[in-house]
Amino acid sequence: MIPSDLTHLEQVIVQCRKCPRLVEWREQVARERRRAFANWEYWGKPVPGLGDIYGRILVVGLAPGAHGANRTGRMFTGDSSGNFLYSALYKFGFASQPTSSHLGDGLKLVDLYISAVCRCAPPGNKPTHTEIASCLPFLKAEVRMMKNLEVIVALGRIALEGIVRIYQVKNLTFSHGLVQYLSSGLPTLITSYHPSRQNTQTGRLTTEMFNDVWQKARSLLT
């Protein structure tokens, strides 16, 4: 049974052990650690969403990074993807600061909530279809709670596929910066390349391209 209030949902997410492969991996990473973070006590658990559940924008990512959110306990926090994302959110008024380093750093999100299709760090950043299916009810519950939701920003193709499964809509395509209308009464969808290091350091996703996504998101709010 998935809780209908955010506090209880977060508790259920953090305690989840449904996917043995992901449990083993996230805990192994937390034990072994990366040398640069040897003094950290890793989170090593599923990562809940964060932000304003009554906000008008939902950001959907793929999964926690092994040494990012799996270390810090906060989505898009502690790695280069988060640095890229929060800088843009701050620029367009959706975050109180341009960086996110740890849970107690004072970050507040404005009119926006961040979630993901998978809550555990997967090996190779690749959750299986079964693992995603097991985790998707958490995202679906958050969507139901977002009573003011107007815009969804899907970061990457897998995020788009998760939204398709939740809303059971067809004929959506993935293209960076594309605005798509799900159906009357449903949120507007914007698809974007994921701000992964692989995309940002190769130039596939530039700062200007990412800023364009958030400019569109801002302009779509009523």
Cβ pair 26, 17 in contact under 8 A: no
Q: Per residue of the chain (222 residues), what is the pLDDT tens digit?
A: 788 899 999 999 999 999 999 999 999 999 999 999 999 999 999 999 999 999 999 999 999 999 999 999 999 999 999 999 999 999 999 999 999 999 999 999 999 999 999 999 999 999 999 999 999 999 999 999 999 999 999 999 999 999 999 999 988 999 999 999 998 889 999 999 999 999 999 999 999 999 999 999 999 998
SS3 47: coil
pTM above 0.85, yes or no: yes
> Which whole-number Å values give the CA distances from 44 to 79, 111, 211, in the listed order?
15, 28, 32
Please report the domains of the chain, with CATH numbers, ordered by start residue: 6-220 (3.40.470.10)
CA 33/CA 59 separation, integer angstroms: 28
